[in-house]
Amino acid sequence: MTARQPTARPVFLPNHHPSDALLVAYGAGSLGEGLSLAVAVHLAHCPDCRAALAEVEALGGALLEDLPPAPLETLSLAATLDRLDREEAPANPCKAMRVRPHWSKPKAASMPAPVSPLPRPLRAYVPSLDGLSWQRLAPGVRRVELLPRTASGGAAQLLRIAPGTALPHHGHGGLELTVVLSGHFADELGRYGPGDLAEVDGDTNHQPIADSHRDCICLIATDAPLRFTGLMGRLMQPFIGL
Amino acid sequence: MIAPLATLLTHAAGPDRARAGAPPRGCADPAAAQLSADLVAVAAGDRQAFARLFAHFAPRVKAYMLKLGMPAQRAEDLAQDTLLSVWRKASLYDPAKAEAATWVFTIARNLRIDALRRERHPEVSDDELLEHEDDRPPADELLDGDRRARRLRGALAALTPEQAEVVRLSFFADLAHPAIAERLDVPLGTVKSRLRLAMAKIRKALGDDDR
């Protein structure tokens, strides 16, 4: 084990976390892709929630163990071994040596963190925040669509909000998760920085405001269309498509 | 990595021998230890170990798929796919971190999502923590897998019927908490608090209740 160096301590850890209910839904696999993506981005920042997720998954394992076994087809194992034979290489122990992602911080490093590394779950959707073609939605608000409405009804997009810009009040038919990638925003529930996850459900109305000196970029995922309220909201609704 | 592995293999040799060992790691649940050891053996290409894992997990994964509403043939296929994936990915399994059942569950879950919704389940793996070190105790200071397994079962049995219901709907009905509230016709807050209380029991059983 490498000695842990105090200088390698984080600048910050997230302050706003998913609820247990949300972690259970994620761990059980009952969240849609967009909402799962938002949770995964938070998890990339948050050791505590990863530990909590491990507990949810252990619960899943225990539930699996407890299920009364279902009878298999007669040649089930033989068929599987057959398929296994057709794969040329058996499990290769070398695969255990996984390559550290280039942006991942070395254990004992004292060098500054790379600029805005995107968590891997997100990089499956966008390679980086640079060079994205941001679509203008309203003064101070731009977006990139990540996931159009998916099979389970959710959607995900990146929003870039200029400092001081308020998003319109909106209510929700279901769950809405916002995770900050850079900058800060604030709403009635608090102030959110990178890795922080805002979880809004039910009848909540909220109005996030970008409150730092630079753009706030966040990922917003929903499992149902948002209902924007107020004039601005009604104007933006057809465009924002959340 | 070497120490926990050796311990698991010792446990796999028989419960009696394991009990004669050091107190903290004694009293193993032989089944859980055997499954972990088999999974480690599979990483080295051991087909007999794979056959044992298959016999244990494939019928349970099939039951899981059936519970989630898959037709029988699809459930069978996904059970086989899951075990095939277990074979392919066995070298990524770390017995110090999770029980075999936990690990197999996550594979089955992801294959099910992919098959059912044609969606991905975005995840992070252990080398992806951003910007900070994990200051939790190293894995070998955590409860070992066998004690975890037993305490977890105990906690599961200790859930109230209402808590057990929301847990089962989460895992076996593909419902997130808002949909569960709708299904049970109770307020969302009620479902959330039942899940919170259920997880508090699980967390306590696993000895990590200081969060």
Query: Which residue segment(s) compose the domain that B205 sits in?
Result: 158-211
What CATH number should be reported for the domain holding residue B178? 1.10.10.10
Q: How confident is the model at residue B123 (pLDDT cuts 50, 70, 90)?
A: confident
**Do the Cβ atoms of B128 and A120 come within 8 Å?**
yes
Chain A, window 163-192: residues with a beta carbon less than 8 angstroms from a chain B beta carbon: 174-175
Residue B135 resides in a domain: no
Q: At A12, is the pLDDT very low, low, confident or very high (cuts 50, 70, 90)?
A: confident
pLDDT in tens, A124-165: 888 888 888 899 988 888 999 888 766 666 788 999 999 988
Indicate the residue of B57, B131, B138 with minimum beta-carbon distance to A11.
Answer: B131
pLDDT given for residue A4 in this prediction: 41
Residue A240: closest CA among A151, A124, A160, A180: A160
Q: What distance in Å separates the CA atoms of residue B8 and residue B144, rounded to the nearest whole number?
A: 9
Are residue B99 and residue B180 in the same domain, yes or no?
A: no
Letter for the amino acid at B70? Answer: M
The CA distances from residue B128 to A27, A42, A120, B88, B125, in Å, are: 18, 12, 7, 21, 6
Across the beta sheet with A141-147, the strand order is A135-138, A141-147, A155-161, A216-222, A176-182, A197-200
Quick check: B208 and A51 CB within 8 A? Answer: yes
Q: What is the pLDDT of residues B22-64, one digit of tens each?
A: 333 434 445 788 899 999 999 999 999 999 999 999 999 999 9
Predicted local confidence at residue B95, as pLDDT: 87
What the block records as the tokens of B16 is: 């009696």
Is residue B12 domain-shared with residue B107, that is, in the same domain? yes
Q: Tell me, what's the pLDDT at A150?
A: 63
Residue A207's pLDDT is 72
In a domain, B147, yes or no: no
B16, B106: one domain? yes
pLDDT at B143: 54
Q: What is the pLDDT of residue A93?
A: 47
Question: Is A217 exposed, middle or buried (CB count within 10 Å of its CB: 0-12, 13-18, 19+)?
Answer: buried
Tell me which of B120, B149, B174 is where a domain ends: B120
Supply the pLDDT for residue B5. 36
- B70 located within any domain: yes
Residues of chain B with C-beta less than 8 angstroms from the C-beta of A43? 123-124
- Over range B66-80, report the average pLDDT: 94
pLDDT at residue A233, as a whole number: 52
Measure the CA–CA gap between A15 and A175, rounded to whole angstroms: 20
* Residue B45, in any domain of the structure: yes
pLDDT at residue B68, rounded to an integer: 93
Please state the domain extents for chain A. 120-240
Question: CB–CB of B105 and A73 under 8 A?
Answer: no
Whether pLDDT at B115 is above 50: yes
Q: Domain check: are B108 and B164 in the same one?
A: no
**Sequence-distant (≥ 6) Cβ neighbours of residue B65 within 8 angstroms:** B74, B75, B78, B79, B108, B112
Cβ–Cβ gap B127/A93 under 8 Å: no
Same domain membership, residue B37 and residue B98: yes
Query: Token match 């939605």: residue?
Result: A137
CA distance B191 to chain A (A): 8
Chain A residues closer than 8 Å to B117 by CB: 32-33, 150-152
Question: Is the CB of residue A75 less than 8 Å away from at least one CB of chain B?
Answer: no
What CATH code is carried by the domain that includes residue B69? 1.10.1740.10
> Above 60 in pLDDT, residue A104?
no
ipTM of the complex: 0.80
Identify whether residues B16 and B95 lie together within a single domain: yes
- Cα distance between residue A176 and residue B157, in whole Å: 33
Residue B47 located in a structural domain: yes
- Report the range of poorest mean pLDDT among A13-22, A184-193, B3-12, B188-197: B3-12
CA B63/CA B69 separation, integer angstroms: 10
Confidence tier at A230 by pLDDT (50, 70, 90) = very low
Q: Does A81 touch chain B (CB under 8 A)?
A: yes
Higher-pLDDT residue of B178, A99 = B178
Count CA within 13 A, CB hemisphere, residue B107: 27
Same domain (yes/no): B97, B183: no
Does pLDDT of A203 surpass 70?
no
Which residues of chain A make contact with B131, given a CB cutoff of 8 A? 10-11, 45, 105, 113
Same structural domain, B7 and B91: yes
pLDDT reported for residue B74: 94
Query: Closest Cα partner for A226 from A150, A186, A174, A177?
Result: A174
Domain count, chain B: 2
Contact across the interface for B128 and A104, Cβ inside 8 Å? yes
Question: For residues B99 and A58, is the Cβ–Cβ distance under 8 A?
Answer: yes
Query: Which pLDDT band, with edges at 50, 70 and 90, does A13 fall under?
Result: confident
| Predicted local distance difference test score (pLDDT) of residue B4 | 40
What class is the A120-240 domain? Answer: mainly beta
Does residue B81 sit within a domain?
Answer: yes
